[in-house]
Chain A
Amino acid sequence: MYWEVVMSFDERFDVIVIGAGHAGCEAASAAARLGAETGLITLNLDLVGQMSCNPAIGGIAKGHLVREIDALGGIMGRVIDRTGIQFRLLNRSRGPAVQSPRAQADRLRYRAEMRRTLEATSNLHLRQGKVVDFVLHNGKLVGVELEDGRRFGAGAVVVATGTFLNGLIHTGRRTYRGGRAGEPAAVELSEALKRLGFPVGRLKTGTPPRLDGRTIDWDAFEPQPGDEVPVPFSFSTDHIVQKQIQCHIGYTTPEVHEAIRENLAESPLYSGTIKGVGPRYCPSIEDKVVKFSDKSRHQLFLEPEGHDTNEVYLNGFSTSLPAELQQELIRMIPGLDETRIIRPGYAIEYDFVDPRELGPDLQTSRMPGLFHAGQINGTTGYEEAACQGLVAGINAALYTQDRQSIRLRREESYIGVLIEDLIKQGVDEPYRIFTSRAEYRLALRYDNADERLQRYGRDLGLVGDSDWDRFYSRQTRLAILRTELDETRFRRSDAQHAAVSALLGADLGDVISLAQLAKRPRVPANLIMSLLPADLKPVSEADLNSVLADSLYEGYLQSQKATIARLYQHDTLKIPRDMFFGGISGLSHEVVERLDRARPETFGEARRLPGLTPAALSTLLVFLSLQQKAV
């Protein structure tokens, strides 16, 4: 029987990845480079790495994720570095921990570069087709079945289907099935997941209209240039070489808001047609107008989609109003009075699977060998998807090779924060990463992602020799620089001492090291740079900033660690795997249910679960302490 199943496969892979979006591409690339024969199956091979929504990568916390993906050996950072058309380092006026890179992408070139990258990867096989079911043998996952009848065998499967999973598109009162405008939905796969017993929920997201750039009066908008010297995403990129463009900023008007309010009945969001929950931080223009009715204007960004097209993305105007109404509304915006819509905006509802079904390796506990990554786990955002794809792809390959899975801790990475939040807390709305989700925000900087994670990538085999050499030499440079800052001292008798004292209007004491000087308020990095010993090799701004950031946050991190250690001293208390929560007298049914679903391994994990009241927690704590004493 087994041989019948195996023989019936048209092709056999170690790992199959369903979906070639941002999660699927990372998953397939990582699995293949770990040596697994990998099949990447997508509905349309021309749309590999498609940006369904805004043509941009990065942003606060999201840029951190891309840097972490890159440090681990992922591909998103490299691809955007080659196809980004406007780079900005956000939060430049703030501390290094909350600065983050962001780039506008050339949508078409990003896709092409992603496909080129995948095709250049050995062991990686692109296949076009629609997966409609899983193939099981004796209850074990052994492959997938396609709509056209082909059957592919695999030791592990990564599902990264994005909004395609039972997608339903809304514009005005019209609804139709689709995974993206103009593309079919994956309806059967959602049914297959339900048949396996997965709890499936519904979420919603939306996208704004795309405009014909030739019909925009650009002078009516405020130009927003990128950085003069772009900061790349990948640690392997030296310079951004492609031509850079400007974006433009504009605003809606009270007339637009009035017109939206009058037509709310036409919006599926307000007529009750849409049941899925949308992200609060990515509201439609309808939501903005209704929920913040006191605002007389809302900001809009005109983002060019690329060098080879006139298409312009109207960021900030996500809507599911009827297409003809969208056209009318657009023309009420100053500077867009003549503008034509190329593609109308729409809302899309799609299925997701409760991420509490997953372990930290993103494998489902219900079906060993099955991994979920991206929007199927209730997240939103390309970067959120990509980092899950990377982790799922790595672990799927490791699973087929009988190797120990990797898990990232929340203390060392935003990826760890994201995954733990998902699998322990579940989602009520599409999950987006924020820096405030990380307890150790000050330690998780975009510029030290290599220091935090590159070793893991190297140990896995995802970081090549040249990148590892780069990492190693950067760490060496930083170490030398640290020593220099400590050992370069100025005495009262030194000329620099007097000059700096005069500049800062403060007495520096008899002797001060550069490291001490850098910690004083209002001492800019370029002052430190100018005081470095002349015989030192030229120091890059990035290197100096990294070293200064370490010392800036050092004290805070220590005090924070002490606080957390003190407050959460019980967090490491282990909860036995076979713990029968229902047997703890005094816990309500609801709490027992939540604990059973999440199966926390420590008291700390239990503490972070939603819906666990202080009362329930102290009961659990008392129980655990008593049990420990009894042992």
Chain B
Amino acid sequence: MAVIRLSGPEAIAITLRMAHVDRFEPRRATLTTLKAGDEELDQVLITCFPAPHSLTGEDVVEISCHGSPAIVRRIIDATLESGATLAGPGEFTLRALSNGKINLAQAEAIRDLIAAQTDAAVKQAARQLNGELSKTLDPFKERLVHVIVLLESALEFVEDDLPAPQMNQVEEILGSVIAGVDRLSQSYSAGRLLQDGARIAITGRPNVGKSSLFNGLVRSERAIVTDVPGTTRDTLSESIDLGGVPVVLTDTAGLRETSDNVESLGIERTHRAMGDADLVLLVLDGSNQLEPEDDELLKQTADTRRLVVMNKSDLPSFQPMARCVEDVEAINVSARTGDGFPALHSAILARLNSAGAENGSLLVTNARHYDLLCSAKRELELAHACFRDRHSEELVLAPLHNALKFLGQITGETTTEDILSEIFATFCIGK
């Protein structure tokens, strides 16, 4: 099934003409047959949302039709002939934005939602769409404005009989704002993995079972994209949903077997795959003695985020952790039987630091938001230090205003007029 959406003042009229009916009940699905001239296009469900109670704030019509690309194409062509125009990328969002249906953070969440690949990411984008990032940020912003009001009043209305700002009160509020902004920005690393997906590279010397492990992981999970761009005969990549986290799994197997210049090329490619990865799965053959090459790989990956997988636990000669480097923790699996896979999942997720993904706490998934939060935090800390050193208010205020501007880029700007209004509402000013 596919949904075609029309938005704008003509949306309803166009659809009425194509459906040959007089009116649609608002927000009720109507079963009808769409026609282009005499030709029947498809039997469809039509739901109409008159302005302003719609996604974009304009009249919106949703046509649910059968999913065949040919049918979808024909219906779209028919609407175009009736006067509709194709939406540009993000145009619906832009219209919703400009009609005040959503704020900037929500608009970005919509974009994330469209790009979201897994359930957890969808849930997360939906949360931001509901304005939760703004909602979570707002109390911190309010507290920040309060501090600014206290300090501005102190230096702007020196002749008025104002209570002096309480040092410890200001410090406490500032501290709580910093902690709050910090907590939100911390959620970004998990949030980014949710949105963009984690890249996992499987590596190991030949014949340790890399491909079996790769296939085992792909088989046991839901593959969400079948033909991944960039897949070559050399590298095998597959996108899977691993416990809610989109994962791009790359197998470096086959490299050495098919390459002529086995040694150098193989090592170089493995290096590159490992360098791009958020996590490296280093596969060892647990049924055999470790070879010098294994030791070399262990040494090479020691400084990266990696997980050592001891494969072939189904073989009698398997020795868990046998002759492994002392402080290396390994997961025992059998790629052939699937034994040990649940433990491998948990271990991978734990390594990806995605604990927040499933428990539903608010995450920042957008790089721009993360950047703004970090900048805000930096300014807040500078102001905090200035304040503790008893610098004059205007020096403390300079970074505070900067911080407010950064946060304002996420939730909307606070103007001088807003701050002045707050001052006059808080204090009795004026001789």
Size band of the A side of the interface?
35 or more
A316 contacts B98, C-beta separation under 8 Å? no
Q: How many A-B residue pairs have CB under 8 A?
A: 131
Chain A residues lying within 8 Å of B399, measured Cβ to Cβ, are 556, 559
Given the interface pairs A281-B424, A282-B430, A610-B417, the reply to whether A442 lies near B398 with Cβ below 8 Å is: yes
Least Cβ–Cβ distance between B9 and chain A, in angstroms: 11
| C-alpha gap A613/B395 in the complex (Å) | 30
Q: Which residues of B contact A582 (CB under 8 A)?
A: none
- Asked whether, in the complex, the Cβ of B99 is within 8 Å of the Cβ of A95, the reply is no
Q: Which residue of A lies closest to B426 (CB)?
A: A292
Q: Does A614 contact B (CB under 8 A)?
A: yes
Q: In the bound complex, how far is the Cα of B258 from the Cα of A227, in angstroms? A: 90
Given contacts A60-B156, A281-B430, contact A619 B97 (CB under 8 A): yes
A315 touches B398 (CB 8 A): no
| CB–CB A280/B155 < 8 A | no
Main secondary structure of the interface of B (DSSP, over half): helix
A97: B residues at CB distance < 8 A: 394
Evaluate contact between B431 and A435: CB separation under 8 angstroms. no
Q: Which of B98, B103, B161, B419 has the most CB of A within 10 A?
A: B98
Give complex CA distance A509, B181 in Å. 37
Q: Contacts of B98 on A, CB cut-off 8 Å?
A: 586-588, 615-616, 618-619
Interface residues in B115-166 by Cβ distance below 8 A to A read 152, 155-161
B26: Cβ under 8 A from any A Cβ: no
When the two chains form their complex, are residues B158 and A90 in contact, meaning their CB atoms are under 8 A apart? yes
Assembled-state Cα–Cα distance A280/B153 (Å):
14
Residue from B160, B375, B416 in contact with A299 in the complex, judged by beta carbons closer than 8 Å: B160
Given known pairs A98-B155, A434-B420, the reply for A567 and B406 (CB within 8 Å) is yes
CB of A283 within 8 Å of the partner chain: yes
A280 and B428 form a contact (CB under 8 A)? no
On whether A280 and B99 interact (CB within 8 A), knowing A60-B155, A98-B392, A614-B412, the answer reads no
List B contacts of A614 (CB < 8 A): 103-104, 412-413
Minimal beta-carbon separation of A141 from chain B (angstroms)? 34
Is B287 part of the binding interface, using a Cβ–Cβ cutoff of 8 Å? no
Which of B157, B379, B398, B419 neighbours the largest number of chain A CB atoms within 10 Å of its CB? B398
B94 touches A586 (CB 8 A): yes
> Shortest Cβ distance from B154 into chain A, in angstroms?
9
What are the interface flags for B315-337 relative to A under an 8 Å C-beta threshold, 1 for contact and 0 otherwise? 00000000000000000000000
Task: Provide the A581-618 mask, 1 if CB < 8 A to any CB of B, else 0.
Answer: 00001111000000000000000000110100111101
Closest B residue to A297 by beta carbon equals B161
Q: Are A586 and B156 in contact (CB under 8 A)?
A: no
Task: Known A91-B158, A94-B155, A615-B98; judge A436-B419 contact (CB<8 A).
Answer: yes
| In the complex, residue of chain A having the shortest beta-carbon distance to the beta carbon of B410 | A614
Cβ–Cβ < 8 Å partners of B409 in chain A: 567
A261 at the interface (CB under 8 A from B): no
Contact A295 B428 (CB under 8 A): yes
Residues of A contacting B424 in the complex (Cβ-Cβ under 8 angstroms): 280-281
Whether a CB of chain A sits under 8 angstroms from the CB of B347 is no
Given the known interface contacts A299-B161, A614-B103, A615-B104, the answer about A94 and B392 at a Cβ–Cβ threshold of 8 Å is yes
Q: How far is B131's CA from A100's CA once the two chains are assembled, in angstroms?
A: 44
Residues of B within 8 Å of A315, CB to CB, are: 431
Which chain A residues border B421 with CB–CB below 8 Å?
Answer: 280
Q: Does chain B have a CB within 8 A of A54? A: yes
Q: Which residue of chain A has its CB nearest to the CB of B149?
A: A436
Q: Does chain A have a CB within 8 A of B415?
A: yes
Q: Answer whether residue B429 sits at the interface, using C-beta atoms and an 8 A cutoff.
A: yes
Residues of chain B within 8 A (CB-CB) of A281 are: 157, 424, 429-430
User: Which residues of chain A are near B160, meaning CB under 8 Å?
Assistant: 299
Please tell me which one of the listed residues A316, A563, A586 contacts residue B402 in the complex, with CB atoms under 8 A apart: A563
Total interface residues in chain B, CB < 8 Å: 46
Tell me if A629 counts as interface (CB < 8 A to partner B): no
B402 partner residues in chain A, CB cutoff 8 A: 559-560, 563
With a 10 A CB-CB cut-off, give which of B97, B159, B429, B431 has the most chain A CB atoms: B431
| A613, B391: Cβ atoms closer than 8 Å | no
Q: What residue in chain B is nearest A560 (Cβ atoms)?
A: B398
Shortest distance between the CB of B45 and any CB in chain A (Å)? 28
Contacts of A619 in B (CB 8 A): 94, 97-98
Q: For A613, give the chain B residue with the smallest CB separation.
A: B100
**Cβ-based interface call for A301 (8 A):** yes
**Does B27 reach chain A (CB closer than 8 Å)?**
no
- The answer on a CB contact under 8 Å between B103 and A615 is yes
**Nearest CB of A to B273, in Å:** 35
Q: Which of B97, B104, B389, B431 contacts A521 (CB 8 A)?
A: B389
The residues of A that contact B416 with a CB separation of less than 8 Å are: 434, 436-437
Given the interface pairs A587-B98, A613-B100, A618-B97, the reply to whether A436 lies near B156 with Cβ below 8 Å is: yes
Report the separation of the CA atoms of residues A94 and B155 in the bound assembly, to the nearest whole angstrom. Answer: 8
Docked complex Cα distance between A155 and B95 (Å): 49
Quick one: closest B residue to A95, CB to CB? B392
Among residues of B, the one whose C-beta sits closest to the C-beta of A616 is B98
Alpha-carbon separation in the docked complex, A29 to B202 (Å): 83
Chain A residues in 8 Å Cβ range of B390? 521
CB of A539 closer than 8 Å to a CB of B: no
B430 contacts across to A, CB distance below 8 A: 279-283, 288, 316
> Please, which residues of chain B bring their CB within 8 A of the CB of A93?
392
Residue from B156, B375, B395 within 8 A of A435 (CB atoms): B156
**Contacts of B375 on A, CB cut-off 8 Å?**
563
A296 to B159, CA, bound (A): 18
The reply to whether A610 and B405 form a contact with Cβ atoms under 8 Å apart is no
Shortest Cβ distance from A252 into chain B, in angstroms?
Answer: 11
Q: Check if B314 is an interface residue, CB within 8 A of chain A.
A: no
Most buried by A among B156, B399, B424: B156
Residues in B whose Cβ lies below 8 Å from that of A280 = 421, 424, 429-430
A288 touching B155 in the complex, CB below 8 Å, given contacts A95-B395, A619-B97: no
Shortest CB-to-CB span from B113 to chain A, Å, is 18
Q: A586-B99, A613-B100, A615-B97 are in contact. Are A567 and B405 (CB under 8 A)?
A: yes
Bound Cα distance A54, B429 (Å): 16
Which of A281, A292, A316 neighbours the largest number of chain B CB atoms within 10 Å of its CB? A281
**A21 → B minimal CB distance (Å):** 20
Any chain A CB within 8 A of the CB of B196?
A: no
- 14 contacts across the A-B interface (CB closer than 8 A): A98-B393, A281-B424, A283-B428, A292-B428, A301-B431, A425-B417, A521-B389, A521-B391, A560-B398, A563-B402, A567-B406, A614-B413, A618-B98, A622-B94
12 extra interface residue pairs, beta carbon distance < 8 Å, beyond A95-B395, A435-B394: A98-B392, A98-B394, A280-B424, A281-B157, A298-B161, A436-B156, A556-B395, A556-B399, A608-B415, A610-B417, A615-B100, A618-B94
Residues of B within 8 A of A (CB): 94-95, 97-100, 102-104, 107, 152, 155-161, 375, 379, 389-395, 398-399, 402, 405-406, 409, 412-413, 415-417, 419-421, 424, 428-431
User: What are the 6 tightest A-B residue pairs by CB atom distance, in nearest-first order?
Assistant: A586-B98, A95-B392, A299-B161, A292-B428, A619-B98, A615-B97
